[in-house]
Amino acid sequence: MILDGKKLSKNILNNISLEIKTLKNKPCLAVILVGDDYASSVYVNKKIKTCNEVDIKSIDYKLDKNYKEEDLLKLIDELNSNDEVNGILVQLPLPVHIDTKKIIKKISAKKDVDGFSPTNLGLLLSNDTPYFYPATPLGIMMLLEHYNIEVKAKNICIINDSIIVGRPLAAMLLNKGASVSICHKLTKNLKDYTLNADIIISATGVLHLLDDSFFNENAIAIDVGICKKENNKLISGDINYEKVANKIKAISPVPGGVGPMTIAALMFNTLKSYKEKNND
Ligand code: NAD
């Protein structure tokens, strides 16, 4: 079975767009990109395009790669106190002269639609309800739920330990009763974890890291990885789809799986932020 994130995200975005038509004002997302990293600008442009499609107002800041950390902190301060803005998204990674943790910490937890702030991650880790769940893990949870894939009491292997994917996703799954292993580049014998897992979620960015020998026949695989090919084109995933798809129970493809679900989850969070502020 193919876990079709493209189709599901279209339904979610359609519902978001219909709901926005009933509101007094448009939700508003501030999108900040510092520098000219190719992949980051592709992601940011997709997010801005989707905002337009669902009628979320986006305020776009495409800033020079030398933009100063103190100026970025000031900009976030202004956006935090701007009543029109419901969500603030700072595209990662930031240039090395900027302290990412400092920037994320500055975003108000109530506008942190990416869900990376210490407040939101802390609430999640303490099995409390954060203001926002991080977009990629939320998109993955929505995908699993849509296909009625139970996570309670399942063995789940996540190959990624970042705050963008692996850590919050592990907490979300744990909070729902899954047994979770987090693997990463220092993990020895990755197959010991993947072969015993009911669900494998991979987000390494290593092209075709996993072939069919990593999965048991009942496995469900979620591919988050986006791998660059020589011509800078962003395609393909961590999982060798051709070799794996017919040998396991279900798989989410790249493209058309987690990518569109991440964007749908971001729009969902922005609308949620608007509704919580405005009681519309
Ligand atoms: P990251 O570099 O912070 O994390 C990469 C992870 O992969 C780390 O945990 C690292 O230890 C692990 N890893 C690397 N090589 C490995 C190997 N050989 N074996 C086992 N583990 C290995 O990156 P990130 O920001 O967390 O993103 C990870 C990937 O997911 C990237 O390809 C990124 O483009 C993609 N991503 C996709 C979406 C989406 O919406 N589809 C969203 C976020 C991230």
DSSP string, 128-152: S--S---HHHHHHHHHHHHTT---T
**Residue 189 assigned to a binding site:** no
**How confident is the model over 123-138, as a mean pLDDT?**
96
**Does ligand 1 come within 6 angstroms of the Cβ of 86?**
no
How far does the centroid of ligand 1 lie from the alpha carbon of residue 208, in Å?
Answer: 13
* Positions marked catalytic: 47, 91, 114
Domain boundaries, the chain: 22-110, 135-259
pTM for the model: 0.96
Reduced to 3 states, what is the DSSP secondary structure of residue 202? strand
Over range 6-10, report the average pLDDT.
Answer: 98
Nearest to 222 by CA among 134, 280, 136, 153: 136
Output the pLDDT for position 37. Answer: 87
Q: Which CATH number fits domain 135-259: 3.40.50.720, 3.50.50.60, 1.10.10.60, 3.40.50.1980?
A: 3.40.50.720
| Residue-level pLDDT at 189 | 96
Q: Return phi, psi of residue 233, to 5°.
A: -70, 140
Q: Do domains 22-110 and 135-259 have the same CATH topology?
A: yes
**What is the residue whose two structure tokens read 């939101």?**
120
Query: What's the mean pLDDT in 110-131?
Result: 96
Average pLDDT of the chain to the nearest whole number: 96
Q: Is 162 annotated as a binding residue?
A: yes
pLDDT of 118 reads 96
The confidence score (pLDDT) of residue 39 equals: 81
- Whether residue 71 is predicted with pLDDT greater than 80 in this model: the reply is yes
Residue 230: pLDDT band with limits 50, 70, 90: low
Average pLDDT score over residue span 193-216: 97
pLDDT value, residue 68: 98
CATH of domain 22-110: 3.40.50.10860
Q: Is 117 in the pocket of ligand 1 (CB under 6 A)?
A: no
d(CA 1, CA 9): 17
What pLDDT score was predicted for residue 232? 64
Ligand 1 pocket, residue 27 CB under 6 Å: no
State which ligand 1 atom lies nearest to the alpha carbon of 93: 25
Helices and strands in the chain, H and E counts: 10, 10
Report whether residue 28 contacts ligand 1, using a CB cutoff of 6 Å: no
